[in-house]
Structure 1
Amino acid sequence: MGNTVNKKINSINEETTTKRKNNSGKKYNILILGLNGSGKTTLLYHNFIPEWTNITSHMEPTISYHYEEVKWINGTIGFWDISGNPIMRNIWQLIYRNVKVNAILYVINIMDISDEIITENNMLISLLLNDECLQASCVVLVFNTFNDVKNIEDTFKNELLIKYKIKDLINDYGNRIHYIFVDCKNCNLDAKWMDLIKQISYYF
């Protein structure tokens, strides 16, 4: 598995170098991270891969990773949807220490509010924000509502923002940190999501 990922990284790096030499476009990379079952794969295929029409309401957890490329205004975006299981988290560092990452979409399942899960998410978010290889990358906390955002009470949202220390994160990391509440199945129908994508595009 490690060799496969290394080959993928080397191949993408070579492709990126060739494109830049030919001035045919730039290559950007976005990582989609989070714990298992948070909605990472749904976010990728429902909103960034228009050809995907066979997605089901229930998806099995990703075992390793998915990689998809999407044409962007002035180049190509490579989306890395990487499993959130403890073993595959070692691959997170392997990728972002070998590939220039412009942004990270960290997906959080708002239905799981156990202390254990919140602590684990907070630890991983802190590691990403403080890794020396990601200091030029923005991190977006995507609170997956699994339902129409309008059905989520503001009181509950505020409780989550406190548990995830959003105010402190913004004070410490400024414009590098963003957050949004959204149904990962229907992001493209959400005006706030589209505005956020425009904001993080400044990191491209």
Structure 2
Amino acid sequence: MRSSPLGLTVLSLLHLQPLHPYGIQRLIKQWGKDQVVNVSQRASLYRTIDRLLEAGLITVRETSRDQQYPERTVYDVTDAGRTTTREWLREMLVAPRAEYPEFPAALSFTMMLLPHEVAADLSARASQVRSQLAELEASAEGARQLALPRVTMLEDEYRRAVLTAELDWLDAVTSDLRSGALTWDFESLAALARSAS
């Protein structure tokens, strides 16, 4: 089985205690891991659990039925799952992967818009980034009040650093767009593309 952020999350949480899928999903949200792992659809969590089970990385510990709830299957991590968790974690920490987020893809074709449109859009993005930074700061304050160990919030530190760098870049580019230091002409770019083909 190939590593995945959600697979790593499930394995890591099962290291702490055996859990059923609802318990896994609840812990992901309680610990704020839903900010770094996509669990917006419950089906993706169940698919990941099925793949981990097929790969022998987790096992069914028990299945119980309560009159108030549907049947619940509790999963536990296997020895192979413990080994795999460490391997995936170290691989993800060491080796940057080629990821293809949509923002850089959109940036690569900003020439399709007018400079003042791009300035407005990047300013709007900067406002959203500022809001995200404020949310992260509030989360950090909550962690400090709960006396959570720093290691439990490293992903938030990283996200804060990345968002701060993005905000600095957005402000600089927006400034260049507004001053005219960064501009373009679509027809000139189209002519350049035609001459290259």
- Which TM-score bucket, shorter chain as reference? under 0.3
The two structures have a TM-score, normalised by structure 2, of: 0.25
Which structure has the greater CA radius of gyration?
Answer: 2
The two structures have a TM-score, normalised by structure 1, of: 0.25
Higher RCO (CA 8 Å, separation ≥ 6 residues): 1
